[in-house]
Chain A
């Protein structure tokens, strides 16, 4: 199945550090969503982006919809231990209802 390129695949960081991850594609999207998933649970929506260039924050999280509509990034500032988990981007392909997911970024925060 189709997937978005998401990087990094995993990262270990110290508590208090900032984190950045991104998703890229050769396709154009009209919506970008960012999720966090804990083991054995469904993904929980963090941020939704609907316009090219849009920059949206949710607490310590900030995400942007790339100008080209082919990419998006998520930043987490001042990370804390509970930020640990797997983060996924999801893009809705232009002209379809389908959402395609990124390959995921596994985040581990060291106290």
Chain B
């Protein structure tokens, strides 16, 4: 299956700092990328949808100035958590959907980033 690489896998930061998480599709072009947030023992909650070269679409209740998303190319999307606070601590997961060789790709996920804000 297609590979989605997400870095870093774990980050610990001080309150007030910004953290950038990268998501790359390694063997296909991702026309659409999604960012999810997951709390312990809960399901994935969609935060935003991003299409290459356009502004991200945020879900209701997600602060766009807090969670900056940049989808600069067909293989890279970044999520920046600005001025992080302890309540932003969570597991963040990216996913990508796209086409490769004319065959429809499914939705593949990165391995996730565990953010801990002290």
Contacts and interface: CB of A to CB of B under 8 A. Distances in A.
Given A40-B112, A42-B6, A90 B107 contact: yes
A44 interface: yes
A33 interface: yes
Interface residues of B, number: 29
B67 interface: no
Interface of A: 1, 3, 33, 35, 40-45, 48, 50, 88, 90, 92, 97-104
B97 A97 contact: yes
Given A97-B32, A97-B97, A99-B34, A43 B106 contact: no
B1 to A, nearest CB: 6
Nearest to B105: A48
Contacts of B106: 33, 45, 48
Nearest to A97: B32
A101 B44 contact: yes
A101 B32 CA distance: 17
B47 to A, nearest CB: 9
Contact of B45 (A1, A35, A40): A1
Given A3-B45, A40-B91, 11 more contacts: A1-B46, A41-B112, A42-B95, A42-B109, A42-B110, A43-B93, A45-B108, A90-B107, A97-B97, A101-B44, A101-B45
B34, B108, B114 — most chain A CB neighbours (10 Å): B108
Contacts of B61: 1
B111 A99 contact: no
Contact of A33 (B60, B93, B107, B110): B107
B49 interface: yes
17 contacts: A1-B46, A40-B114, A41-B112, A42-B6, A42-B93, A42-B95, A42-B110, A42-B111, A42-B112, A88-B43, A97-B32, A97-B97, A98-B34, A98-B49, A101-B46, A104-B42, A104-B43
